Structure 1
Amino acid sequence: MMNSFWWGGGTNNKGIRWLAWDRMTYPKTQGDLGFRDIHTFNLAMIAKKGWNIMTKPHTLVAKLYKARWSIGSGTSIKIMSEPWLRGQGGAWLPSPQIQGVHNITVNDLMIPNMK
């Protein structure tokens, strides 16, 4: 019943016509509905959240992200045995195995007092 109310298209009832999404996002000044483009709006909200995390490090969200992505001292993370990059489909990309670097940790790559 709701569909027939909104999209019913008889001779006496015009109903709502389907429009392409990019046409619906035109401004109202151009005679359209003025919806926001979802992709652009999503990017703006992500950028806003990133800005808030950078400028307000004392907030709970900033502390959670920092704790989640913190390496710590890096003494337990081996460079050659940990998966670093994901390929298409979510599988880990294999790293070339160079002789003599199997026991190097992330801590060995860091400059002292520069964390």
Structure 2
Amino acid sequence: MSCFLLPNSLCGLFESIFAKIWWKKGLGREKFIGVSKDTCVDQKIEEGLGFRNMSQFNIALLAKQGWRLLVNPNSFVAQVLKAKYFPENDFLNSRLGNRSSYA
């Protein structure tokens, strides 16, 4: 998730898997009932369960990678990405080119 922009449908699938695990009735377990999805994704400080919205979490992880490129421009990964994808500009002023990849 920290390297690729995942489709919203895949993020929704992750969230549904997490919900099934949370609400699953197993051997010797009671089924958890009475909490809406909105309550689940609310922060704990707001009396929610603190589940992550996976599409927003994906964007946050990608932003973290961008921040690393800005803070450590001399790192190996930053130098490789600069040489391949934005040799004339810096990361913030780069544009999507013809040789783009999912990374």
Normalised TM-score (structure 1)? 0.43
Higher helix content, 1 or 2: 2
Bigger relative contact order (CA 8 A; separation at least 6): 2
The structure with more radius of gyration? 1
